[in-house]
Structure formats: structure tokens, C-alpha cells
Structure 1
Amino acid sequence: MHVQVALWDGGGTVPAEVGVVRRLVSRGHSVSVLGDPTLEPEVRAAGAAFQPWRQAPHRRSAADRDLVDDTACRTPLQVLDRLLTRVVTGPAAAYAAEVRAALAARPADVLVASGVLMGALVAAEASGTPSVALCPNAYNRPTPDLPPFGSGLPPARGPLGRARDRSLHPLVRRAWDRGLPDLDAARAGLGLAPLRDVWEQWDRAARVLVLTSAAFDLPARLPPNVRHVGPVLDDPVWAAPVEPPPGDGPLVVVGFSSTYQAQEDVLRRVGVALGRLPVRAVVTTGPMVDPACVPRTGGVVVVRSAAHAPLFAAADVVVTHAGHGTLLKALAAGVPALCLPMGRDQRDNVVRARRHGAVLGLRPGASPDRIAAAVRRLLADPRYRRGARSLGARIRAEAAGSPLVDEIERSAGTGTSDDRRTPA
């Protein structure tokens, strides 16, 4: 079949979403991708056709900050507002117009889109094309069973926890629905009726595929078109293998965000901490940060990027911002992690991994002494390695047996109709 894909450059989400493209091509399908120009090398390496966004928001080059650029945001609600206005709903009409034109030029059996690109899903609905929304991290739709996205709160327990959620969820729903007028305007422009709330657009997709491990994610009652299909653990094509320093000491791998989150200072403190320990280390700064900001000692290698898979296979500890991709790859390798979450969904990921005894968490402003002590604890206490290995085995099994492509193929035959109205 022919699959039209619509993606945005969300940094850490890219390897997983391009991994979906790669798997569709490997199954023998023809795939065309609309996306940011920065995605073209990844998409073409996956074997798909590529067309850049013209009018819809996009990153033009790797030197551009990401579309959300939340470095000045101080609260999750500020991050949410930027995400809404710059990606999810503010430009929905622009994304819808380009996707509709692509579908008119070459009809597709199914549209697969980054779940935040609501405009792409609008275009599929208007053209009668079945759609699949990708959620390339833990399930993030506001749900009564789950703490709000970006809050870093644990699941509710007891009367106080339930009261907390009863007070927070209406606030979160109202925050998301600030984008509803823009989304409804995009829908009206294509002859579609208005929605009750922003997230009803997901209900009109044949499938919402959550690209994480169900064992990692928090349990919740989800809409009937939602499927956890396991993580996509691919490395990006620009990440080359890197040799760790020679020696027999424990190997610590440091991986922070591939987009800019003002991470220079935390990387510097991590470098100082590792220089005080009898370890070997590979520190990756990400493409937006100069490796010169990290102090170097004889046992520390500092690079912009490195392929995670071979390094994590040999690692004893991973130090990370707890982005979904980096953390899931570490856990899949059975490696415990020290997490210094800087925002977005990162504190939520720490909550999920901590339930399995696989990580330690610190504030991103932690001192070198505290960082060094946490790394020592992860190395010395075998319970963290056992927790990571136990969860990692389940993550690997879900990734190996993923029904991802099967679900997309079924969506091409079912459209948006029957199963989404069936009770869970």
C-alpha cells in the first residue's frame, strides 16, 4: 500500500518516528514523508520519498532551535502553551493544507502522523483517508487515571491523591482547549464540524499508537483506538559509533537532549563529577552544544553524538536528562540510570522508571558531589541493576514482538469508524 507520513522535528521523537517509516518500507510499502528539511537525511536513509514543509512551521537546518524552544519556560503550562501555539493547534490550518495537497496529488491508503500534528489528522479526516496518530513517548493525553503531562507527579493514591487529580485535571483540560478555536477553524476550512475538545481529534483516528513499553508506562483506562506497540529503539543515522576509553573501570555513558535545553551547565557539573570517580566515561553533548563546555580528564571522552546501542550494551550506568528515547534504550540494555530531568516529559519518565527500582533522580541543579555520590550508589547497589534488567527484558520483548506495522495495515482497511465506538 501507499502510506503518507507527516512528521515534525521534535528532537528525541525523530528516531522513533523515522523508525516507523523504516519498518513500513521494510514490509514492502511505498512511503512518502512530509517533514522538516532537517529530517530529509534520516527519511531518505530509511528508504522513503521526502517532501519538506513549505508554509507550515518547520526547522530549516540543524542550527535552528526546535519549534517549541522552551528554554525560557518556567512551568509545564508555559511549555504546553508554546506547544499548542507553535505546533499542535496554532498552525493546524497550515499543516492541514499541505497534507491535503499531498493526498490529492497521490492518494494514500493511510496517513501516519506525529500525534501533535492535529492539522495533518484534520486533512486525513476531510479527505476520507484513514489515519494513525503516533505518540512517541509515554501516553500523554489528559486522562483521569494519569497525572498531568509534564507534572512529574506519581500516580494518585488514597483520598488525597484523588482530590489532587480532581483539582488538576480541569485546569489541564482548559489549558489544552485554549487551542480549540484554531483547531476548529482548520476543520471548518475543510468542511468539518467543530470538536468538543482538542483531543477528540485523536478519537477520529483509526489508531493511536503509543511507541513505548506498556510495562514502562503507567496503567490507565484508555480509549479503544489506543494501542501500546512497544518502543522503537533505533539510533539516528548521524550518531556514529564511539570507542570508550581503554581500561577496566566501570563505564558511564552520558546522554542529554538532542535539542537545546540550556544543558551546558548540567553537562559541566556531570563532567566534574565523573572526573572525581574511578570510572571510564563517554559524554555526548548533543548537536546543539559545544563539547568544549565539559571538563575532560584522562578517563572521559566528550563528543557531540554517539550511537547509543553499542555503548549502552557495555555501560554500567547511564546519566541522562530522562528523555524518553535515551532512557528507554538504557533500560532496554538493562542499565540503571541517573536522571537529571530538565523539563517536558522527563520528570514523568523518571516516575515511571522509579516504580521498577531502575533509576535514581536528582534535580538538574545538583552539585558535582551529589552527582558523583549518586553514580557511586548505582554502581555499588545491585538492586538498581536488577531492576533495570528486569524491566529491560520486558521492554525488549515488547519491541521484538511489536504489532506496530500490523496495526497500521489494519487501519488502512478499517478507516476511522467502528472500533473507536466500542467500549474499552
Structure 2
Amino acid sequence: MSRNFLFALWAGGGAVPPALSVVRALRRRGHAVRVLADRSLHDEVAAAGGEPIAWTTAPQGDASDPATDVIKDFEARTPLGEFARLRDRIVCGPAADYARDTLAELRARPADALVTEQVLLGALTAGEAAGVPAASLVTTIYPLPAPGAPPFGPAFAPAAGASGRLRDRIVGGLMVKPWEKGLPALNAARTASGLPPVDSVIDAFGRVDRCLVLSPRALDYPGRRFPANVRHVGPRLDDPAWAGREPEAPPGEEPLALVGLSSSFMNQRRPLERIAEALGTLPVRGLLTTGPAVDPATIRAPGNVRVVATAPHAAVLRHAAVTITHAGHGTAVKSLAAGVPLVCVPQGRDQREIARHVEEIGAGITVRRNASPRRIARAVRRVLDDPAHRRAAERMAAEIAAETAADEAVAELEALAGRTRAPAAGHA
């Protein structure tokens, strides 16, 4: 039976392709899909088969353009500063605007289910007010507090003994505390939507019917226990429409190193050049993708490194021996799905955490954002010379293949669309 889905997305860089992959899969199943999104995403939405709809009052931006990016987290000096920008400019600050636009669309054209990127609490508020079954999409490792794992963010190793568990309790409490500053704006959005206030922002995240984690369960810590509404449905491995065709790698028989930092702007031109310089000292062939945020003509590279704007990573990884990456979830997981080990050079956001998880499964190593070319080259050599890293990546590839054999995300959403919820008072 064909269903009508309304998606709500924002220009969140690497969070966009996996969400649009779900849109594409639903369209192939014959469902109608509308997508509320920033205008900068409308071409991508249309390429996925969705009907793009612009936000009216909610923020509009382009993550690949530093002048129009909404959160501008590349200007933050600390991880807490990065978090505050996301909280104040997307999650909580404009929650009333997101709720207003989403409610208006649901009233104009009702939907069987609402699907939003997890951080859009305003859109989820609208779904709750309208009584529409709702799912949130987590496009990284599950980031909210859950027993059996360190708090998400500091990139801690799993706790060892009583002192480690004490560390997790203390730091976990400190990690939740900054959300309190966003609570008044979120509750104002809820009140305006006819809903009662919540006691915490974390509580609001948990009010969704289904939280679908588009990440391999095996990449998270094995002892972690999740809320009842959370489902790990496997990663999305198809490339975005803008990735284009597979370019030619530099000629030769040396191992191929794929390089890819963020598709959004993170001041990554100098790190890209340091990586290129590092590869120039090694017996490898490098294919360096700058992404939409960096002009490839601005990157100095040695003769054994080809610099291109875009490439379909899933296709290139069939030939790669190592990936050097910021440890964005999409690039990291596609590499693991291909059995390719990683050198992680985190630039910010969730990337330090993903790099830690890659190290914990033995599939790669991490160097600092400002690592010298010499240190990067040493890390690449270690990954290439130690077969244990590739074996660990290949084990993860087998796990991902089993997890993605069926499209569990689509199955969950189709089941959700068949449910009903009572709307909040005043929204019947």
C-alpha cells in the first residue's frame, strides 16, 4: 500500500546523503515523499525522487558555503563552542520556526508519517502536536546517553573498572548540562504548538515513536543498552548525486590511498595539503577528493596524488588500500563496508568519537587535525604495513553486509506509517 511521507531536513553536510538515500528507497517502493529542506538541498532532493519544499521561517543555509552556513561551527574555538552553535542555531533556538513550518505543511497536505533528522526537535514537536507517527534519523553513532558506554563526545575509551565507570558518570552529567540553555526556546516551541513543556532537551529527543540509527551496530560498543524506541537499521552506502563519475587514479601499481575530508566547510584546505604532502613521500597513488566546499585548484599536491572535486567513494573504495579521512560517518562507514582500513584526521563535530570507535575495532589509527605531513605519512605506512588493520576492516565489512542485506529503515517506516496517534488538543 502506497503511503505519504513528509521528511524534514537541514543543510547538515554529511547528514544529508543518508537521509536522502532513505527517500530514494521509499520512492522506489512506490511511496509519495515530500521533503522540507533548505533551498540549497532542493536539487539533491529532486535527484532522490522527493518533492522539495522550502522552509518558510526556519533557517536557510548551505553547509558547503562558509558565508551562508547556518551554524558556522568552523568559527568555534572549542568542542563546547561547536555544540553551542548547533544547539542555538538548529536544535533549540529556532525550534518554534521549524515547528511552525512543519505544522503548516502537515495541515496543508497530511502525511502518514513524519521523518526528521534527529536534531530537528522543532519538526518533531510539530509531529507530536499533529498526532502524526514520527521517526528521527540518526546519521552517526547513537549520540545520546545510554548505559554501557562512555558519554558521546570526549572520545573516551570504554571504562575499565570502577574508576572508569565513575569517570563516565561524572563526565556524562557534565555533557548533558549544556543542553539546559536550550530548554526555554524548545519549551516555547512546544507551548506554541499546544504541547506541555518537557523537563529536559534529552527527554524531548526520546518522545519520537522510532529513532532509526543509520550506523552499523557493530561499530558501537557491544555492551551499550539503548532506549526501547531505538532501532539500528544499518548504514546507507549509496553515494550522493553530486559525487559524479569515478575519476581515473594516478597510473601505476602502488597501493591506492583515497583521501576525503568533510563535504561541508571546516577550514580543511591546509589539512588536505598536509595529507597530500605526506602521500608524496610514500610509494602510493593518491586520489584526493576536496568535496563541494573546497576548490581542487587551490590544493598543492605532488605528482603521485590526483586532486578532484568529487568522486563516488563507494566505487573508488573497491580499489583502495587505505582511506585518509576526517572520520565523518559516511566516509568511515563506506570504507569499512569495503574492508578498507583508515587513517583518521578528525576536524571536529562527531569525528573524534567516530575515530575512537574505528580504533577500538582495530580498523585504523588516529592523528590530530594539525598533524604534520611526516606524522600522517607514518600513520599511513603503519596501516598499510600491518595486516591486522585490514583484517579488522574486513570483519566489519562482513557485519555491515549482513546488516544491510534487507532495508530495515524502509521496513520500519512502512510499519510506522500504518499507525495512528491522537493529535494534541487544538490540533485535531
TM above 0.5: yes
After superposition, residues 355-370 of structure 1 pair within 5 angstroms as 355-370=360-375
In the aligned structure 2, how far is the partner of 1:296 from the partner of 1:340?
A: 18
Among 267, 271, 277, the alignment partner of 2:272 is 267
TM-score, normalised relative to structure 2: 0.94
Q: Report the equivalent of 1:189.
A: 192
Equivalent position of 2:226 in the other structure: 222
Select which of 80, 94, 105 maps to 1:77.
80
Comparing 253-262 with 140-149, greater Cα deviation is found at: 140-149
- Runs (4 or more) in structure 1 with deviation over 4 Å come to none
Corresponding residue number in structure 2 for 1:30: 32
- The correspondence of residues 174-253 of structure 1 with structure 2, limited to 5 A, is 174-219=177-222, 220-240=224-244, 241-253=246-258
2:18 aligns to what? 16
Whether the 8 Å CA contact 1:131–1:416 is kept in 2: the answer is no
Give the CA deviation at 1:51: 0.7
Could you list the per-position Cα deviations for residues 243-263 of structure 1 after superposition, in whole angstroms to 9, with x for gaps in the alignment? 111211110010100111111
Distance 2:409 2:268 in 1: 33
Tell me the C-alpha RMSD between the 2 structures.
1.5
> Deviation at 1:60?
5.4
Deviation at 1:57, TM superposition (A): 0.6
Q: Could you tell me how far apart the structure 1 residues matched to 2:148 and 2:63 are?
A: 39
CA change 1:247–1:416 in 2 (3 A) is farther
Q: 338, 351, 358: which one pairs with 1:353?
A: 358
1:329-340 equivalent positions in 2, closer than 5 A: 329-340=334-345
Quick one: distance in 1 between partners of 2:126 and 2:89?
18
Which residue of 2 is the match for residue 136 of structure 1? 139
Q: CA deviation at 1:48?
A: 1.3
Partners of 1:130 and 1:185 lie apart in 2 by 22
**Partner amino acid for 1:341?**
P
Query: How far did 1:235 drift?
Result: 0.9
Could you tell me how far apart the structure 2 residues matched to 1:50 and 1:244 are? 35
Shift of 1:214: 0.3
Letter in 2 for 1:28: G
**Does the Cα contact within 8 Å between 1:253 and 1:319 map onto a contact in 2?**
yes
CA contact (8 A) 1:150 1:343 kept: no
Residues 263-342 of structure 1: pairs in structure 2 closer than 5 A: 263-342=268-347
1:190 Cα deviation (Å)?
A: 1.3
In structure 2, relative to structure 1, the CA distance for the partners of 1:60 and 1:270 (3 Å cut) is closer
The range that moved more, 150-159 or 94-103, is 150-159
Q: Which amino acid aligns with 2:55?
A: W
Is 1:149–2:152 an aligned residue pair?
Answer: yes
> Does the aligned pair in 2 maintain the 1:142–1:172 contact within 8 Å?
no
- 8 Å contact kept, 1:334–1:391: yes
Distance in 2 between residues matched to 1:341 and 1:204, nearest whole Å: 31
More displaced 10-residue stretch of structure 1: 54-63 or 335-344: 54-63
Separation in structure 2 between the aligned mates of residue 415 and residue 159 of structure 1, nearest angstrom: 45
* Cα deviations by residue, 1:8-37 (Å, 9 ceiling, x for unpaired): 111011110111111111111100010011
Question: 3-state DSSP class of the match of 1:199?
Answer: helix
Structure 2 residue identity aligned to 1:360: I
- The separation in 2 between residues aligned to 1:77 and 1:280, in whole angstroms, is 38
Gaps of 5+ in 1: 418-424
Paired residue for 2:404?
A: 399
Q: How many residues align?
A: 417
Distance 1:60 1:338, change over 3 A: closer
Q: Post-superposition shift, 1:294? A: 2.7
Displacement of 1:75: 2.5
Q: Secondary structure at the match of 2:228?
A: coil
* Contact 1:130–1:411 (CA under 8 A) maintained in structure 2: yes
Question: In structure 2, how many angstroms separate the alpha carbons of the residues matched to 1:386 and 1:306?
Answer: 25
Cα distance in 1 for residues equivalent to 2:355 and 2:199: 32
Using the TM superposition, name which of 91-100 and 191-200 deviates more: 191-200
Q: Give me the TM-score of the superposition, normalised by structure 1.
A: 0.95
Task: Specify the SS of the correspondent of 2:201.
Answer: coil
Picking from 53, 56, 71, the partner of 2:55 is 53
Cα distance between partner residues in 2 of 1:155 and 1:116: 25
CA gap 1:14/1:61 in 2 versus in 1, 3 angstroms: closer
Partners of 2:377 and 2:234 lie apart in 1 by 33
